[in-house]
Amino acid sequence: MAEAAERVTDIGPPNYQQFLPPIIKANYGKWKYHEILKPGVMMHVAESGDRLYTVRAAGARLMSVWKIRQIADLADKYCGGHLRFTSRHNIEFLLTDESLIDPLIDDLKALGHPVGGIGNSISSIVHTQGWIHCHSAATDASGIVKAVMDEVFPHFANRDLPAKLRIALACCLNMCGAVHCSDIAILGVHRKPPRTDHETLNKLCEIPNVVAACPTAAIRPAQVDGKESVQVIEEQCMFCANCYTVCPAMPLNDPENDGVSIWVGGKVSNARHEPMFSKLLVPYIPNNPPRWPEVTGTITKIIDLWARNARNYERLGEWIERITWPKFFELTGIPFQKEHIDDFKHAGLTFKRSTHLVH
Amino acid sequence: MAEAAERVTDIGPPNYQQFLPPIIKANYGKWKYHEILKPGVMMHVAESGDRLYTVRAAGARLMSVWKIRQIADLADKYCGGHLRFTSRHNIEFLLTDESLIDPLIDDLKALGHPVGGIGNSISSIVHTQGWIHCHSAATDASGIVKAVMDEVFPHFANRDLPAKLRIALACCLNMCGAVHCSDIAILGVHRKPPRTDHETLNKLCEIPNVVAACPTAAIRPAQVDGKESVQVIEEQCMFCANCYTVCPAMPLNDPENDGVSIWVGGKVSNARHEPMFSKLLVPYIPNNPPRWPEVTGTITKIIDLWARNARNYERLGEWIERITWPKFFELTGIPFQKEHIDDFKHAGLTFKRSTHLVH
Amino acid sequence: MAELPETPLLDELEKGPWPSFVKEIKVAARHKEACRDLLGQLERSYREKIGHWKHGGIVGVLGYGGGVIGRYSDLPEDFPAISHFHTLRVNQPSGWFYTSEVLRKLCDMWEEHGSGLTNMHGSTGDIILLGTSTPELEPTFKGLTDLGFDLGGSGSDVRTPSCCVGPARCEWACYDTLKLTYDLTMSYQDELHRPMFPYKWKFKMAGCPNDCVASIARADMSIIGTWKDDIQQNDEEVKKYAEAGLDIQRDVVENCPGRCMSWDGEKLTIDNRFCRRCMHCINVMPKALAPGKERGATILIGSKAPIVEGALLSSVFIPFMNPDDPEEVAELKEIVEEIWDVWSEEGKNRERVGEFIQRVGMGNFLEAIGMEPVPEMVAHPRENPYVFYALDEEEEEDEDEDE
Amino acid sequence: MAELPETPLLDELEKGPWPSFVKEIKVAARHKEACRDLLGQLERSYREKIGHWKHGGIVGVLGYGGGVIGRYSDLPEDFPAISHFHTLRVNQPSGWFYTSEVLRKLCDMWEEHGSGLTNMHGSTGDIILLGTSTPELEPTFKGLTDLGFDLGGSGSDVRTPSCCVGPARCEWACYDTLKLTYDLTMSYQDELHRPMFPYKWKFKMAGCPNDCVASIARADMSIIGTWKDDIQQNDEEVKKYAEAGLDIQRDVVENCPGRCMSWDGEKLTIDNRFCRRCMHCINVMPKALAPGKERGATILIGSKAPIVEGALLSSVFIPFMNPDDPEEVAELKEIVEEIWDVWSEEGKNRERVGEFIQRVGMGNFLEAIGMEPVPEMVAHPRENPYVFYALDEEEEEDEDEDE
Ligand code: SRM
Ligand code: SRM
Ligand code: SRM
Ligand code: SRM
Ligand code: SF4
Ligand code: SF4
Ligand code: SF4
Ligand code: SF4
Ligand code: SF4
Ligand code: SF4
Ligand code: SF4
Ligand code: SF4
């Protein structure tokens, strides 16, 4: 117990102040305005007149320490060793010398981390673990993200869109990527009810918790082959996997039936329109590794349509709302199915309760 | 049974065509445009050039046959015996001779049926039976309607409002007046749980139906004094009276605690904004017959505020939506209480899920 | 005849400019004992702040399950003339058109058999004959049918359909609301008079999206006129409105929910691809704009008052059809009857069709009645990921694999 | 070191302009056995279209209930080096600011004790140290604390708070997001490290309504900067934007959700009484417009992902307070702790606070924590008439009567 006493705990994170670059310390809370100078580069001007140049490089999110060291080297070379990461996992270099911007961009490119993502562009995809680390995944995360970003890369490297476009991915309905409010969301889905392992269930799990976990009350306690276990009423299961989260003996993973769904029209910012949830566009696309071409194809199609038709500053969901969903389905050619119609708790509120239709 | 065979049944209503005035028969479906000539009077011009003048008189809704005969006399005198009623229970005289408009208006006035209600005005109040005929009423209908219409009468007789304003009244939560989509709705409310008559309940009602009738599951089967009956968990009761509708042994009427609530901001038309439900403004005002001054006072206050501040064509609910509800509460001075916050099924969707606030 | 009772509270409601229902009852009370007692009982309600009617009671006319609302005073000793005081719901003619002649005949009949009090009209649309005794029900019914009238609905049946004035007097009517109302009423006489559903079913017909009969708020099936092609536009008349002082930018363009109009001070441009058929611009400039020529209606389903699951608005069911085409009406009736079958089979007691659809899910409901989902049915697709993936789809895949 | 496994499928993901996670793993695989096995197992997942990790497993460091996610391969025979492969969640510094120096030290530590793979960062905001074995957990923890770092949250505890860059680099920050984040993190070390709630609790701090940290979508408490007074306006700069080609009417005025702006071609007028603080006009013209001077934040409550009751957005809880004022922060903390008490007492297992509020009702929740309802909390008042009239009100009346 002597050891435990020595142990340092609950110190919390390092104080951020020690990591702020001098120009930020000097102008903290005193920024006046900013301008985007070119793709991936912006300038913040302080009340003091100081100018801070930010160069944003694509983040890999999954990075090795060997790469991080290279990035640290660039920070030393260009901006006194100062850098930050963004809320979407990009890397930002904070420069005071405008003339160093282009050399930095070249070095970043050489390192495989092109710059972009600032302004009306696509930034990197917020995502999750997938087959890299999670037991729950209905699809991979990093692989689709890479495939999609390769495809939409011109919109990261340029500012050629009507507004920002945010893509997110979550590999199961737990939605760790918080994809529920994204312009475009890719969501891993199961489509088969849990396969209950009656042998082990009672040992691994508390049956009342398992029963309580099911939002549709599809799970009932049951004796199977003389063992206390549970029974799933399959027609009542909508594959949320909450039972699996609380009980390892009820896996849903299934190579043939797992896959992804695509959701569109969410947003988070309060700019213009209040925040919105994403809505179902494509209920199911089978997993097709390594490059998920049906997923990337669908996404680029949506982006192209939006980029060509939306007004300035109109986020994807705002555009769809203006032209109406039937028109959007017509433009995309995606078939409208039973699955698109909500049948969960608030379903009735999503019905079209007016005659505001375009014909 | 011979008698039954003679009996005429299922003949349906008379065919409307026999009641249409000649000018309407001639121009049926061929109207070109209309103009409001003055309060309560409009002209419809047909493709043929024919002109039809409509004079709209206040409807009493509750009318005696002696009054209806007088109205029939006016129809004979001014428009060949043709008249109609409107969907809000007003009376419309259909004239072809423009010069007869003013004499008709004078005669109507003398009869106690002033004209108005066309255009951006208040029309008569859609309402229900109240103490005149219904067992369920938490308030009277005709009495409050009369009191309110007397008070807002200038807005019926003139076209001095930003848009139409529709008032409706229902004397209990069954909402026969369909008040749920009105600019201003007056709704009779109970505030005490049912008083169960355990003596008669089992004779008058099916206990399973009574239990099933309660939306909050507040009713349970119970033995009371040796009789099969039901028990109401009072904290779970929100006084909807659905139990009373299915079972006479569970009345809620209570002179001290019944009263009215006031709701605002609903609409039905698709013009501009999609149809909207009315929202709770004043949870409770005690019944104060014969003229319910607190009700009329609240309503005139709301109308004045709206009339002074709204933009052209902005219905009450559209105006409130633009200025936001907190601002509206501030302007009216009506206190915001726990009762205003939804706690029924879709409550969460009525929370303010953005930072779109006026401060 | 006896004196009228003292009614100091009700007398207050004889004052003021709005027509007074108290005056109406008093006139009737000079002729009718029942109306005298009604006055007395109502004054008592005003004093005690409580109604004095007993709960329901099943009365009616032979062979009909609806159309009469039974009503008994809870103070029969004090007010014996209204110890029964039932109302009859009488099916109005489409659009509430009358001649003085037919009204007088109705009045005579009702003076003979009942209280002489009416509602012109009830909020569903019927003529309400307000108050008579049980023995007078059959004679009243006979009197009605002699005049060519019939009872309306009450209970778990089709309720009296009603409609806006439509093509009879309105330039915006996109279909013949009166004709469809009459047609549906006549087709469903049996369903109207003999309750056979889980709960009531209301039809309401409005000629255009202004919805002057509030159908979207209170009809299990709301039939609302609309159009498919471009708004008819007369630029000369637009200019005249502007010259007359209408602020077209502020009052018209900025109020367009489709955000599809623009005004350059000279010319109004409508991008009709995105027009939502809301009527606003047309309402404001009736001489300059009009609905298109390819007219029809949107069929919506499911509205109702709040009891039990909360109020509902009707929602889009068939985005566009033409109710003036008899074939399309025949198809519509087939669909309606299919819905009634499914709902009668699977609906719970006192479950309106809107509640039924929410309970079983719109997708399942459509499958049960054999219709395809279309995007017009929803304001937006689902936001939650709780998808019941269709099993037959998977079966198809399985089959593919087997091959 | 051994050869890298054959990964024909993964190799495809080395191509293309976006940084490749496969390249990262391959670099690490040259140094680390575990990364080689990770590569092998991932290739297998790509081939078989299924993950190969077992369900959870409770591991951790001494005295902490969270911060480590246990993970075991389900193919331990084939990939023994990842038979355990736990991740550590490391609390990032506010705003994700680093120096190259501290990053290098972290790298060295993690190369020594783990796989050398990271996520910069996890989607809650932590530094994710991706994969190590059970025996290495304590040494890694020691390595971290030696560098001044500590673990983040996992399980039913306070999760690692995070924030936007705020006043460090953004002209729109209405309060000091970094400071508040650090303050809350330090105040709640115990709650962060020792799960004691019904479920997780997330704080996210955004400096203005643009919400660059998506707090409204994924934080049990979302603290979003805003202002009270008028937008700061520089008319000269507005004109310059117009001259430079910005269509102020179409792109700014017509996009204003408060409909409170007008532009006459010369002067922009904002009726600030109805400005909703949405940021749009400011975003479009950052040189001309800025948030007002009386700045602070709106506190919102309850967002979360869809499991179990459907996703929620946070909703307004305190319309305006100033997080830069230590006294107001102290009050906020009291409220937060009060909420935790009530929720811990009454919340169900795995019920997030947003779900809890919906279950018990916002009104009751406010009463329980001793706060008053304000209209800012709702988008609109209730639409259904199902009001639980407060009993104490009635009791008061009864009392009046007794007197
Ligand atoms: C760096 C970062 C904050 C951080 O602490 O890391 C940031 C920084 C800025 N944001 Fe942001 N935003 C950042 C994530 C977000 C997010 C969160 C997210 O994407 O998950 C949002 C909400 C997105 C949504 O609504 O779904 C966000 C919505 C905005 C908006 C509103 C855009 C809109 O019209 O809806 C603005 C205003 C604008 O762009 O004009 C904005 C503006 C800005 C400005 C201009 C603020 C400033 O004056 O410095 C910064 C540069 C903008 C840019 O990237 O175009 N920022 N911004 C985040 C960069 C992420 C990245 O790497 O791409
Ligand atoms: C006569 C009547 C139809 C009937 O068959 O009986 C009718 C007739 C007309 N309505 Fe209506 N409306 C009638 C009830 C309604 C209703 C239903 C209701 O009030 O319960 C509505 C929906 C109300 C709502 O949204 O809550 C209604 C919403 C409209 C609107 C849309 C107004 C808006 O801006 O929301 C218009 C367009 C307008 O006024 O510019 C309209 C326009 C008209 C026009 C101008 C149509 C025309 O060209 O003939 C008619 C005269 C208008 C007037 O009264 O100002 N009518 N109108 C109804 C008269 C009721 C009364 O006695 O007051
Ligand atoms: C007479 C009338 C009110 C009036 O004064 O105009 C009326 C009167 C009654 N309604 Fe109604 N309803 C009347 C139109 C409505 C409407 C409006 C409409 O049809 O457009 C509604 C709302 C729309 C709807 O259908 O949802 C309406 C929704 C109800 C309800 C709630 C139904 C629901 O599903 O939520 C009930 C309760 C019930 O059915 O048990 C009800 C029940 C009743 C009963 C039968 C009372 C009962 O619980 O048994 C009332 C009889 C009163 C009496 O003694 O005469 N009444 N009722 C209306 C019928 C007149 C007519 O035929 O023209
Ligand atoms: C690592 C991370 C994903 C990532 O790659 O970035 C993650 C990974 C997991 N999350 Fe998460 N969540 C992560 C951020 C989130 C977020 C986003 C956020 O915090 O902003 C959400 C949505 C927001 C929210 O809290 O609602 C999120 C919502 C969930 C949920 C659903 C919770 C709910 O109330 O709906 C679960 C299920 C659970 O808690 O049992 C879950 C559970 C899990 C578990 C622990 C799996 C499980 O069922 O036990 C995952 C472990 C994966 C692994 O093996 O490492 N994770 N999780 C994120 C944490 C990194 C970090 O600390 O920085
Ligand atoms: S979204 Fe699901 S599968 Fe992906 S990391 Fe989160 S819990 Fe795991
Ligand atoms: S997957 Fe979800 S719906 Fe299906 S049984 Fe499990 S908890 Fe219930
Ligand atoms: S609203 Fe209620 S009290 Fe009034 S008539 Fe209808 S059922 Fe009777
Ligand atoms: S009044 Fe309504 S809530 Fe109360 S017991 Fe009766 S049915 Fe239930
Ligand atoms: S609903 Fe349309 S068609 Fe019918 S009366 Fe009203 S405006 Fe005319
Ligand atoms: S009808 Fe409505 S949506 Fe169509 S152009 Fe006119 S105002 Fe716009
Ligand atoms: S949320 Fe506001 S303050 Fe924070 S970075 Fe974004 S724009 Fe700046
Ligand atoms: S901040 Fe938003 S609401 Fe306020 S004036 Fe600007 S655009 Fe309008």
Cross-chain residue pair D209–A173, CB shorter than 8 Å: no
How far apart are alpha carbons B296 and B169 in whole angstroms? Answer: 13
| Mean confidence (pLDDT) of chain A | 96
Cα torsion through C78, C82, C83, C89, rounded to 10: -160
CB neighbourhood size of B247 (10 A): 24
CA angle centred on C19, ends C16 and C21, rounded to 5°: 105
Q: Environment class of residue C328 by beta-carbon count within 10 Å: exposed (0-12), middle (13-18) or buried (19+)?
A: middle
Give me the residue from A274, A345, A356 closest to B354, CB to CB.
Answer: A274
Point out the ligand 12 atom lying closest to the alpha carbon of residue D258.
Answer: 3
Given this model, what pLDDT does residue C391 score? Answer: 54
β-pair partners for C129: C88, C118
Instruction: Say whether residue B355 is in contact with chain A using an 8 A CB cutoff.
Output: yes
Show residues of chain C in contact with B11, CB under 8 Å: 145, 148, 150, 189
Q: Which of D298, D314, D394 sits opposite B191 (nearest CB)?
A: D394
3-state secondary structure at position C66:
coil
Nearest CA to ligand 11 atom 7: D210
The answer to whether the beta carbons of residues D329 and D296 sit under 8 Å apart is no
**CA distances (Å), origin D54, targets A1, A207, B69, D132, D302:** 33, 20, 86, 15, 31
pLDDT over 70 (residue B175): yes
Pocket probe for ligand 12: among D248, D255, D279, the residue whose CB has the most ligand atoms within 8 Å is D279
Instruction: Give the pLDDT of residue A164.
Output: 98
Total beta-carbon pairs less than 8 A apart between chain C and chain D: 19
SS (H, E, C) chain A: CHHHHHCCCCCCCCCHHHHCCHHHHHHCCCEEEEEEEECCEEEEEECCCCEEEEEEECCCCEEEHHHHHHHHHHHHHHHCCEEEECCCCCEEEEECCHHHHHHHHHHHHHHCCCECCCCCCECCCECCCHHHCCCCCCCCCHHHHHHHHHHHHHHHHCCCCCCCECEEEECCCCCCCCHHHCCEEEEEECCCCCCCCCCCHHHHCCHHHHHHHCCCCCEEEEEECCEEEEEECHHHCCCCCHHHHHCCCCCCCCCCCCEEEEEECCECCCCCCCCECCEEEEEEEECCCCCCHHHHHHHHHHHHHHHHHCCCCCCHHHHHHHHCHHHHHHHHCCCCCHHHCCCCCCHHHHECCCCCCCC
Q: Give how far C193 is from chain A: nearest CA, Å.
A: 30
Contact at CB, A24 and D168, closer than 8 angstroms = yes
Find out whether C162 and C204 touch, Cβ atoms under 8 Å: yes
Residues A91, A113: contact at Cβ < 8 Å? yes
**Chain D: residue whose CA lies nearest to C250:** D262
Alpha-carbon B11 to chain mean position: 30
pLDDT tens for A331-356 read 999 999 999 999 999 999 999 999 99
How close D343 gets to chain B, by Cα (Å)? Answer: 17
DSSP string, B32-92: EEEEEEETTEEEEEETTS-EEEEEEE---SEEEHHHHHHHHHHHHHHHTTEEEE-TTS-EE
Q: D306 touching C, CB under 8 A? A: yes
Residue nearest to atom 6 of ligand 8 (CA): B243
Taking the complete model, does pTM exceed 0.95, yes or no? Answer: yes
**For residue D399, what pLDDT is reported?**
40
By DSSP bridging, strand B167-170 and strand D232-233 are: unpaired
> C384 and D310 in contact by Cβ < 8 A?
yes
Q: Which residues of B touch A277 (CB under 8 A)?
A: none
Q: Which two tokens stand for residue A62?
A: 């999954």
d(CA D137, CA D129): 11
Task: Inspect the interface and report whether the beta carbons of A13 and D193 lie closer than 8 Å.
Answer: no
First to last CA, chain A: 76
- Closest residue in A to D214 (Cα) is A268
B275 interaction partners in chain A (CB closer than 8 Å): 353-354
- Among candidates A275, A346, A356 on the partner chain, residue whose Cβ is nearest the Cβ of B349: A346
SS3 D341: helix
Tens of pLDDT, residues A209-237: 999 999 999 999 999 988 999 999 999 99
pLDDT, average across residues C332-340:
98
Ligand nearest the Cα of residue A235 is 6
pLDDT digits (tens, 9 = 90+) for B139-165: 999 999 999 999 999 999 999 999 999
Does the pLDDT of residue C243 top 90, yes or no? yes
As a whole number, the mean pLDDT across chain D is 95
Q: Contact D16/A153 with Cβ under 8 angstroms?
A: yes
Q: What is the pLDDT of residues C265-279, one digit of tens each?
A: 999 999 999 999 999
3-state helix, strand, coil in chain B (%, to 5): 35, 20, 45
D309-367 per-position pLDDT tens digit = 899 999 999 999 999 999 999 999 999 999 999 999 999 999 999 999 999 999 999 99
Give the pLDDT score at A2. Answer: 44
The answer to whether D62 touches D151, Cβ cutoff 8 Å, is no
Phi, psi of A352 (to 5 degrees): -80, 100
Run of H or E including C176:
none
Atom of ligand 8 nearest to the CA of B252: 1
Mean pLDDT of the B93-106 span: 98
Yes or no, beta carbons of D385 and C254 under 8 Å apart: no
Instruction: Tell me the pLDDT band of A7, cut-offs 50, 70 and 90.
Output: confident
Q: Is the pLDDT of residue D401 over 90?
A: no
**pLDDT, tens digit, for every residue of D79-126?**
999 999 999 999 999 999 999 999 999 999 999 999 999 999 999 999
Query: Do the beta carbons of residue C67 and residue C89 sit within 8 Å?
Result: yes
Instruction: Return the pLDDT at B5.
Output: 54
> For residue C212, how far is its CA from the centre of ligand 2 (angstroms)?
5
Q: Taking CB atoms and an 8 Å cutoff, what residues of chain B touch C164? A: 87
Strands D127-132 and D117-120: antiparallel
Beta-bridge mates of residue A34:
A44
pLDDT at residue C397 greater than cutoff 50: no
Residue with CA at minimum distance from ligand 7 atom 2 = B172
pLDDT band with cut points at 50, 70 and 90 for residue D1 = low
Residue of A nearest to B275 (CA): A354
Residue D398 has pLDDT above 70, yes or no: no
**Atom of ligand 7 at shortest range from CA of B130:** 4
**What pLDDT shows up at residue C399?**
40
Give helix B325-332 / helix B316-323 axis angle, nearest 10°: 110
B60 pLDDT above the threshold of 90: no
pLDDT in tens, B274-332: 999 999 999 999 999 999 999 999 999 999 999 999 999 999 999 999 999 999 999 99
Q: Ligand 1, closest atom to CA A59? A: 62
User: What is the per-residue pLDDT for D2?
Assistant: 67
pLDDT at position B153 is: 98
A11-48, pLDDT tens digit by residue?
A: 999 999 999 999 999 999 999 999 999 999 999 999 99
Q: How far is C400 from chain B (nearest CA, A)?
A: 43
Question: How far from A145 is each of A17, A88, D56, D217, D367, CA to CA, in Å?
Answer: 33, 13, 25, 21, 46
pLDDT in tens, A75-108: 999 999 999 999 999 999 999 999 999 999 999 9
Among D98, D204, D212, D314, residue to substitute to test ligand 1 (most atoms within 8 Å of Cβ): D212
Nearest to B306 by CA among B319, B294, B297: B319
Contacting subunits of C (3+ beta carbon pairs below 8 A):
A, B, D
- Closest Cα to residue B78, out of B53, B111, B50? B53
Q: How far apart are the first and last CA of chain B?
A: 76
Q: Which of B191, B326, B348 sits opposite D389 (nearest CB)?
A: B191
- Nearest alpha carbon to residue C140 among C150, C126, C125: C150
Would you call B359 an interface residue with chain A, using a CB distance cutoff of 8 Å? no
Centre of ligand 7 to C-alpha B229, Å, is 26
Closest approach atom of ligand 5 to CA A136: 3
Q: What is the pLDDT of residues A159-195, one digit of tens each?
A: 999 999 999 999 999 999 879 999 999 999 999 999 9
* Residue C1 reports pLDDT greater than 90: no
For an interface test with C, give the residue of B74, B267, B269, B291 to mutate (most C CBs within 10 A).
Answer: B269
Q: Do B13 and C16 touch (CB under 8 A)?
A: no
Place of tokens 């900013």: A34
- Phi and psi (nearest 5°) for C89? -100, 120
Q: Please report, for residues B192, B340, C231, C335, the alpha-carbon distance to residue B235 in angstroms, rounded to integers and kept in the order given.
A: 10, 18, 55, 44
CA dihedral B330, B334, B335, B338 (to 10 degrees): -110
Is residue B4 scored above 80 in pLDDT? Answer: no
User: What pLDDT, on the 0 to 100 scale, is given for residue D370?
Assistant: 97
* Nearest ligand (C-alpha, residue A355): 10
pLDDT at D360: 96
What lies within 8 Å, CB to CB, of D345 at 6+ separation is none
Pocket test residue of B136, B140, B142 for ligand 7, highest count of atoms within 8 A of CB? B136
Q: What percent of chain D lies above the pLDDT cut of 70?
A: 96
> Shortest CA distance to C94 belongs to which of C152, C146, C140?
C152
Residue C346 has pLDDT above 50, yes or no: yes
The 10s digit of each residue's pLDDT in D366-383 is 999 999 999 999 999 999
Q: What does the mean pLDDT of chain B come to?
A: 96
**CB–CB of B351 and D377 under 8 A?**
yes
Averaged over D35-46, what is the pLDDT? Answer: 98
Which tokens hold the place of B215?
């939306």
Report the SS3 class of residue C216: helix
Q: Decide if pLDDT at C50 tops 50.
A: yes
Give D158-219 as a DSSP string: B---EE--GGGT-TT-SS-HHHHHHHHHHHTHHHHHS--SSS-B-EEEESSTT-TT-HHHH-
Q: Which pLDDT score is estimated for B70?
A: 98
**Probe target for ligand 4 pocket from D74, D123, D314, with the most ligand atoms within 8 Å of CB:** D123
Average pLDDT over residues C189-208: 97
pLDDT at A121 over 50: yes
- Whether the per-residue pLDDT at A117 is higher than 80: the answer is yes
Does pLDDT of B256 surpass 70?
yes
Q: Evaluate the CA torsion angle D35, D36, D39, D44 in order and state its sign.
A: negative
pLDDT over 70 percentage in chain C: 96
Q: What tens digit of pLDDT does each residue of C82-94 get? A: 999 999 999 999 9
Cα dihedral: C260, C316, A238, C384 (round 10): 30
Please give the pLDDT value at position C290. Answer: 98
Q: Please answer yes or no on whether A63 and D24 come within 8 Å at the CB atom.
A: yes
